[in-house]
Amino acid sequence: MISAENSAGQTGSPVVVTGTSQRFGRNTVLEAIDLAVAPGEVVALLGPSGCGKTTLLRLLAGLSRPTTGSIHIGDQLVADASSGAFVPPERRSIGMVFQDYALWPHMTVAQNVGFPLEMQNIGRAERDARIAEALGMVGLGHVADRQPGTLSGGQQQRVALARAIVSRPRLVLFDEPLSNLDRELRESLVVDIAALLRKLGMTAVYVTHDHGEAFAIADRVAILHSGHILQIDAPEQLVGKPVSPQVVDFLKLGLVLPAEVQNGDLIIRGGKHRLSPPAGLINGSRSGDLFLPRSALRAASADGGAQKGNAISGTVVHSMFRGDGYAVQMRFDQNIAIEMFSATRLGDGTIHDLDISWDRAFWYPHDAAPALSHT
Amino acid sequence: MKSLKTVLLAGFACLALSGNAMAQSVTVYTAGPGGLIEKLAAGFKDETGIDVNVFQATTGKVMARLEAESANPVADVVISASWKTATSFAKKDMLLDYTSANAKTVPDFLKGPGYVAQGISALAIAWNPKSGTPKPADWSDLTKAEYKDLITMPDPAQSGSAYELVAALTAQPDLGWKLFEGLAANKMIVPGANAQALNPVLQGAKAVVFGAVDYIGLSQAAKGESIEVIFPKSGTVIAPRPMMILKTSSHQDEAKKFIDYVLSDAGQAMVAKTQLMPARSDVKADRPLIADLKILEVDPKTDRKAVLDRFAKTFGME
Amino acid sequence: MRLTHLKSRVFGSGGMIFAAVAPVLTILVAFPLLFVVLQAIFPDIARGIFANPFSRFVETLFDKHLIAWTLNTLMLGGSVVLVSSLVAVPLGILRGLFRVPFAGLWDVVFLVPFTIPPYIAALGWIMALQPRGYLEQITGLNFGGFLFSFWGVVFVMTLNVFPVVYFAVSRMVSSIGGRYLEAARVAGCPPMRSFWRITLPLTTPAIAASLLLVFAMSIEEFGTPAALAARSGFLVLVTGIEQRLSDYPIDLPGASLLSVILVLIAMAAFVLQHRIVSRRDFQTVSGKPGANRAAELGVWRIPVVMFFAIIGFLGAVMPILSVVLTASTRTISGGLTADNFSTENFAEIFANSGGAMEALGTSLSLGLGAAVITGILGTMTAYVVVRQRTVSSRILDFLTLMPNTIPGVVVAVGLILAWNQPWLPVTPYNTIGVLVLAYCCLLLPYPVRYANAALRQVSVSLEDAARVAGAGGIKVFFRILMPLIFPSILAAMLLVFAVAARELVATILLAPIGTKTVALFIWRQFEQGSVGMGMAMSVMAIAITMTIPVAVAIWARKQGRLF
Ligand SMILES: Nc1ncnc2c1ncn2[C@@H]1O[C@H](COP(=O)(O)OP(=O)(O)O)[C@@H](O)[C@H]1O
Ligand SMILES: [Mg+2]
């Protein structure tokens, strides 16, 4: 659908966000954000709705001014709260795809796409060629003369994409660009956008609340939560070494069990379980969160593991056939639940033990700096 | 909110009732002055128990409403500020021939078959003593240099009496259009109807109205405004205000009683109170009366349109 | 896809609403206006006689003033449109796009000019600016030369009518939101240029529709040009109409014929507006809700507030100040001296509080009634016009503009001719109902134009979604469309309320016997030479009339709507 063949390899600019906060009245939406994006790198901002993703993107675009901190794009200081320096959006050489596309209804598709070029006073001949090229890249050459209102959602999205990249901006911003589209379209488009960005070598910041999308498109993913960046890492790293229970929770990586330490054993809050981890895991702290990735849990064949301190037992809420097995939802306590994979159907309401592979478990102590300890 | 409901309800209720026709009432269409008709109506009701339904507007609006209603007339009595209304209604045979017993002392030229004057106004010079100009005594004084840029006049195209003044003065053999040409040279302005002509003189933007309606000026002066009404030596026109009963009236007895009342001692006293001249010569008033004024006649054969056109041309109002 | 839309609309909700609206408009607007046209053709129609058709055409049409008057009318209408757009379009766009300090206050202030009757406003300006006027008494300056000139008329009329444009544009811009503008900025377009390339074109329908109203209003306004420019020989068609209706012999056919000329001029303007709008039919309110962020003004805060304040001062404060001064001085010739100040005029109003209160109650009720009826009817009409693009809906559209182009006094004559026919089984004539009819007829154009511009932006899919959800045509209209375009309708209804509560020209001719309205009360005071008392009543009426918009503004603010 999108082809990125005939494009000149060219590198986007680095972006550096330093200590940037955004407050609306008394409401702090972003708190001291630090973020560095390398030239040509694609960073996804991932977080639940309302965590400040759009706000951060608007700061990068110059659509609002930071309350504190500064932002560099390339060599240019585009915003600095302390000196008041500010470069308006039109002088930042960026592209942006809006969540609702914001295609101008009074212009044709070609006029929409050509607008950024027109703003750079690029002559008509070259402009037409580049419009055709950009529309070609998104596979929409045939709709150039239509009004945007007459296009389907996916087509509008691709016009918005073409408009964002047509002027080869040094930074492209995406604000949940696919959230209005169906799953299939989303999955194919995300691959296409990723390929296009890599091909054009553009720096991009891509906002989404969908992990799959973030992992598919980004070199690194930043997890944003209540105005803080919790962790920023490559997708593999994020899944393999989440820095905090919130990250685990948001990425739904496994079980997080709050626990107290008694005589080297873990008493899981709720009182039902007493686990005996290997000596190195806890490291002297007195309470914390035990993180058991899905891969650390295995359905036990028989009971008795729980007594030995190496298994936990949960109640099956629901099993659902998934073609190659069963997706089983299990509950361990009122608030703690997990979705597991099982080769066989487990009856609703039955109680099962799960064996723990301690070598894959993590411990996040409450009373120490959140240093990740791992056996 | 409550009154909104009342309005709507009343509206719908009246839709069904379709208009007028209450038993003991008379409907009067009248030109101003507003206070007068209210007092007359109240006095009449006290004396006879008959309600007076009043529609009050300018002469023009009264005539427009009468004209538009002619398929289905509503009015019983009409009081106009223009004598011409009465004579032409009479000519069109629209008037009920009625002579009130109270009209005996109304001079003959103020009554006719089916109509009689309610009261009379005259045109005059209204001068602001605070204007720093000498007090004028006659129309022609206003062509003097002292009044340059300081004169206003009601528009004869909008005011019947102002037209009559122009017609009468231009017909004077010794004056002709010279007077108005002199006024034009003195930059007289013609800002609209009577009120628009008076206002700039009250505030002091101008000094004098040429052809002000006397009773308005007199009552302003009575209220303490700095204005003096001067009846020019060489004479002026009067505007009797005719009352008439329409032939189509379905309340002719009540209408006759109403005319009688306006011409009664009590009614004429109310007329005099508004600074109009009473129609009856035996009623006293606190102002110059017809007998004190030199009255100029207007030749009924005058071509109104030609006079208005020439006037407009003289004052650059084309 | 398109075809099914069209079908469902013609036979579905649109058709039903058309069926409901067409007869009402026929009775409300077409019936009286038909009589204006008949009167122009048949001089004796008032007597029910169809004799001598066209016999008055030659005399009226070959009046040697006609061409000059027509040209003056066009010049005046055009100039008021031009100056209004220079003032009100920037104001409206600033208000719609930015966080303007005291935004709610400006909305209320800009409604004030509408509550001041034009004849009072003109008199207020005269008393303020003429030689020895209040301004000269206070500062020694007078602007009489400017006021009593063509541009003086344009100045005063613009200040009377610019709110129509301001409200239409600010509502439209805020419903479009800033996102299209932001997209342009990101695409490299500087602020001014994005304004010209994006905001202005998207706002064109609202600008065109409201300027059409302004044009229609200014070619039919009599009081202001007559009071200010007639003395310098600047006469318009309405002057001629008024002359024909002001002294015996009354010339109804001539006045009607001149009104028909006004309608023809308006028709040309209507066609022009239609061509501008129909080429740019944008749906900017999509099914996708977006946050409307009002942008910050930054360093422009002060200049922008100054701009709003200057226009607010000229449009609302100056005329009201002049009115208040006249009301609180004993005599006009006494001027602004300490011993001439008095509360006498107000005291007299309170002494006659029965009459004054009755008049106020009647006027406010009439205003509310007219606002509610025209609001609903106007939205329904606009819906038919926008969604059902047939010739008959186009006719409805123009029908609702016509009353606005004809002087109120001629509309009143038409209403009498129509509703005083002896063969009518029932008639509202000579009841308060005829005033409701008159105000609805005269003021329907506001809600229609406002709703029209707003509806053009609402995506059809929003309606379709409601239909699919099981809502019938009428339900969709009231539950989905009305709320979406409510800010626009509300603004129009406030304008209707303000005008209806102080309408004089039609009222004076139509008022049922014995009915008192505020405007009649004021006019009678002037008629009796009591300018001060008339002005005192005006002050009270304006103050009381403004309480409703202020209450609405506060309520709407609480509801989080723009007003
Ligand atoms: N202009 C604003 N004024 C006040 N609060 C705002 C504004 N813009 C955003 N917010 C608040 O900031 C928070 C983050 O918003 P946003 O960045 O849009 O979240 P998301 O991560 O879903 O894109 C939300 O709670 C929102 O209500
Ligand atoms: Mg967002």
pLDDT digits (tens, 9 = 90+) for B204-259: 899 999 999 999 999 889 888 999 999 999 999 999 999 999 999 999 999 999 99
Asked if residue C99 has its Cβ within 6 Å of ligand 1, the reply is no
Q: Which among A102, A106, A119 has the least Cβ separation from residue C201?
A: A106
* Nearest ligand to the CA atom of A56: 1
Looking at beta carbons, which residues of chain C come within 8 Å of A102? 179-180, 182-183
Selection from B100, B83, B115, B114 nearest residue B241 by Cα? B83
How far is it, in rounded angstroms, from Cα C250 to Cα A310? Answer: 109
Strand pairing report for B25-30 and B51-56: parallel
**Atom of ligand 1 at shortest range from CA of A52:** 17
Choice between A80 and A311, residue whose per-residue pLDDT is larger: A80
The SS3 assignment for B40 reads helix
How far is it, in rounded angstroms, from Cα C456 to Cα C284? Answer: 9
Give all strands (DSSP E) within chain B, no chain letters.
25-30, 51-56, 77-79, 111-112, 115-127, 151-154, 189-192, 208-213, 228-230, 238-245, 277-278
How far is it, in rounded angstroms, from Cα A353 to Cα A264? Answer: 22
How far is it, in rounded angstroms, from Cα A162 to Cα A131? Answer: 8
The predicted pLDDT at position B314 comes to 92
Asked if residue A53 has its Cβ within 6 Å of ligand 1, the reply is yes
The predicted pLDDT at position C290 comes to 47
Nearest CA in chain C to B162: C247
Per-residue pLDDT at A370 exceeds 70: no
Give all strands (DSSP E) within B110-255, no chain letters.
111-112, 115-127, 151-154, 189-192, 208-213, 228-230, 238-245
Structure token digits, residue B186: 């003195």
Whether C528 and B219 lie within 8 Å, measured CB to CB: yes
Report CA A192 to chain centroid distance, whole Å: 17
End-to-end CA distance of chain A: 46
Would an 8 Å CB–CB cutoff place C2 in contact with chain A? no
Selection from A312, A326, A335 nearest residue A245 by Cα? A335
The predicted pLDDT at position A9 comes to 44
Structure token digits, residue C470: 């099981």
The predicted pLDDT at position B259 comes to 96
Banded pLDDT at A10 (limits 50, 70, 90) = low
Strand order in the sheet with A85-86: A27-37, A15-24, A68-73, A76-80, A85-86
Would an 8 Å CB–CB cutoff place C287 in contact with chain A? no
Structure token digits, residue C367: 């205003």
The predicted pLDDT at position C509 comes to 84
The predicted pLDDT at position B9 comes to 45
Query: Where along chain B do its domains lie?
Result: 18-120+240-288, 121-237+294-314
C-alpha of residue C174 to centroid of ligand 2, in Å = 20
Strand pairing report for A27-37 and A76-80: unpaired
Banded pLDDT at C499 (limits 50, 70, 90) = confident
Structure token digits, residue B253: 């007895």
Nearest CA in chain B to C417: B68
The predicted pLDDT at position C466 comes to 58
How far is it, in rounded angstroms, from Cα C98 to Cα C83? Answer: 23
The predicted pLDDT at position C252 comes to 82
Banded pLDDT at A306 (limits 50, 70, 90) = low
Q: Does chain A reach chain B with at least 3 CB pairs under 8 Å?
A: no
Whether C185 and A119 lie within 8 Å, measured CB to CB: no
Ligand 1 pocket test target in A29, A30, A51, A96 with most atoms within 8 Å of CB: A29
Residue A200: strand pairing partners: none
Would an 8 Å CB–CB cutoff place A98 in contact with chain C? yes
How far is it, in rounded angstroms, from Cα C121 to Cα C159? Answer: 9
Per-residue pLDDT at B1 exceeds 50: no
Whether C422 and B20 lie within 8 Å, measured CB to CB: no
Structure token digits, residue C411: 């509309």
The predicted pLDDT at position C232 comes to 78
Looking at beta carbons, which residues of chain B come within 8 Å of C247? 59-60, 63, 82, 157-160, 163
Per-residue pLDDT at A204 exceeds 70: yes
pLDDT (tens digit per residue) in A83-127: 999 988 888 888 888 887 888 877 889 988 998 898 888 899 999
Domain boundaries B121-237+294-314, corresponding CATH code: 3.40.190.10
The string of DSSP codes covering C488-556 is HHHHHHHHHHHHHTT--HHHHHHPPTT---HHHHHHHHHHTT-HHHHHHHHHHHHHHHHHHHHHHHHHH
Query: From the CB of residue A126, how many other CB atoms can be counted at a distance below 10 Å?
Result: 10
Residue range C441-461: average pLDDT?
A: 82
**Atom of ligand 1 at shortest range from CA of A57:** 17
The predicted pLDDT at position A49 comes to 87
Strand pairing report for A326-331 and A337-342: antiparallel
Report CA B29 to chain centroid distance, whole Å: 13
pTM for this entry: 0.76
Q: Is A67 exposed, middle or buried (0-12, 13-18, 19+ CB in 10 A)?
A: middle
How far is it, in rounded angstroms, from Cα A104 to Cα A159? Answer: 11
Report CA A19 to chain centroid distance, whole Å: 21
Residue range C405-429: average pLDDT?
A: 83
Residue of the CA atom closest to atom 11 of ligand 1: A29
pLDDT (tens digit per residue) in C51-107: 777 777 777 777 777 888 899 999 999 999 999 999 999 999 888 888 888 888 888
Q: Are B301 and B171 in contact (CB under 8 A)?
A: no
C-alpha distances out from residue C159 to A108, C88, C114, C156, C541, Å: 38, 10, 9, 5, 19
- Residue by residue, what is the 3-state secondary structure of C452-484? HHHHCCECHHHHHHHHHCCCCHHHHHHHHHHHH
Residue of the CA atom closest to atom 26 of ligand 1: A50
Residue range A230-240: average pLDDT?
A: 92
Looking at beta carbons, which residues of chain B come within 8 Å of C253? none
The SS3 assignment for A197 reads helix
Asked if residue A22 has its Cβ within 6 Å of ligand 1, the reply is no
Choice between C44 and B136, residue whose per-residue pLDDT is larger: B136
The string of DSSP codes covering B219-257 is HHHHTT-S-EEE--TT-B-EEEEEEEEBTT-S-HHHHHH
Q: What are the phi and psi torsion angles at A85 (to 5°)?
A: -60, 140
Q: Domain B18-120+240-288: what homologous superfamily?
A: Periplasmic binding protein-like II (3.40.190.10)
The predicted pLDDT at position C3 comes to 38
ipTM: 0.83
Q: What are the phi and psi torsion angles at C131 (to 5°)?
A: -55, 140
Choice between A90 and C162, residue whose per-residue pLDDT is larger: C162
C-alpha of residue A179 to centroid of ligand 2, in Å = 10
Q: Are C237 and C69 in contact (CB under 8 A)?
A: yes
Whether C187 and A119 lie within 8 Å, measured CB to CB: yes
Q: Are A247 and A238 in contact (CB under 8 A)?
A: yes
C-alpha distances out from residue B187 to A186, B149, C125, C327, Å: 81, 5, 22, 31
Q: Are B299 and B171 in contact (CB under 8 A)?
A: yes
Contacts 24+ apart (CB under 8 A), B31-34: B31/B56, B31/B57, B31/B58, B31/B59, B31/B62, B31/B79, B31/B80, B31/B81, B31/B241, B32/B56, B32/B58, B32/B81, B32/C527, B32/C528, B33/B215, B33/B274, B33/B276, B33/C527, B33/C528, B34/C524, B34/C527, B34/C528
CA atoms within 13 A on the CB side of C16: 9
Choice between A195 and A295, residue whose per-residue pLDDT is larger: A195
pLDDT (tens digit per residue) in A30-57: 999 999 999 999 999 999 888 999 999 9
CA angle C238, C240, C243 (to 5 degrees): 110
Choice between C8 and C16, residue whose per-residue pLDDT is larger: C16
The predicted pLDDT at position A331 comes to 82
The radius of gyration of chain B's CA atoms, rounded to the nearest angstrom, is: 21
The predicted pLDDT at position C1 comes to 36
The predicted pLDDT at position A2 comes to 47
pLDDT (tens digit per residue) in A180-189: 777 788 888 8
Longest dimension (CA), chain A: 79
Structure token digits, residue C525: 């005071």
Query: For tokens 């002392």, what's the residue?
Result: B105
Asked if residue A32 has its Cβ within 6 Å of ligand 1, the reply is no
Looking at beta carbons, which residues of chain C come within 8 Å of A92? 186
Looking at beta carbons, which residues of chain C come within 8 Å of A180? 288
Whole-number percent of chain C with pLDDT over 90: 17
pLDDT (tens digit per residue) in C209-241: 889 889 988 888 888 888 888 777 788 888 888
Q: Which among B15, B55, B74 has the least Cβ separation from residue C431?
A: B15
C-alpha of residue A50 to centroid of ligand 2, in Å = 7
> Which residues, 6 or more positions from C335, have their beta carbon under 8 angstroms from its beta carbon?
B203, B204, C132, C137, C329
The predicted pLDDT at position C563 comes to 40
Whether C131 and B128 lie within 8 Å, measured CB to CB: no
> Which residues, 6 or more positions from A109, have their beta carbon under 8 angstroms from its beta carbon?
A103, A135, A140, A143, A144, A145, A146, A147, A148, A151, A159
User: Cα torsion for C284, C290, C293, C295, to the nearest 10°?
Assistant: -40
Structure token digits, residue C72: 């003056």
How far is it, in rounded angstroms, from Cα C59 to Cα C30? Answer: 27
Q: Which among A98, A116, A120 has the least Cβ separation from residue C179?
A: A98
Residue range A347-353: average pLDDT?
A: 82
For residue C197, the 8-state DSSP code is I
Residue range C378-396: average pLDDT?
A: 82
Asked if residue A51 has its Cβ within 6 Å of ligand 1, the reply is yes
End-to-end CA distance of chain C: 37
How far is it, in rounded angstroms, from Cα C563 to Cα C558? Answer: 10
Domains within chain A, CATH numbers bracketed: 15-93+169-239 (3.40.50.300), 253-374 (no CATH)
Residue of the CA atom closest to atom 18 of ligand 1: A54
End-to-end CA distance of chain B: 50
Asked if residue A59 has its Cβ within 6 Å of ligand 1, the reply is no
Asked if residue A27 has its Cβ within 6 Å of ligand 1, the reply is yes
Q: Is C81 exposed, middle or buried (0-12, 13-18, 19+ CB in 10 A)?
A: buried
The SS3 assignment for C367 reads helix
C-alpha of residue A209 to centroid of ligand 2, in Å = 9
Asked if residue A50 has its Cβ within 6 Å of ligand 1, the reply is yes
Residue range C114-119: average pLDDT?
A: 84
How far is it, in rounded angstroms, from Cα A42 to Cα B34? Answer: 83
The predicted pLDDT at position C288 comes to 47
C-alpha of residue A143 to centroid of ligand 2, in Å = 29
Residue range C315-330: average pLDDT?
A: 91
Structure token digits, residue C419: 């509703």
Residue range C256-280: average pLDDT?
A: 81
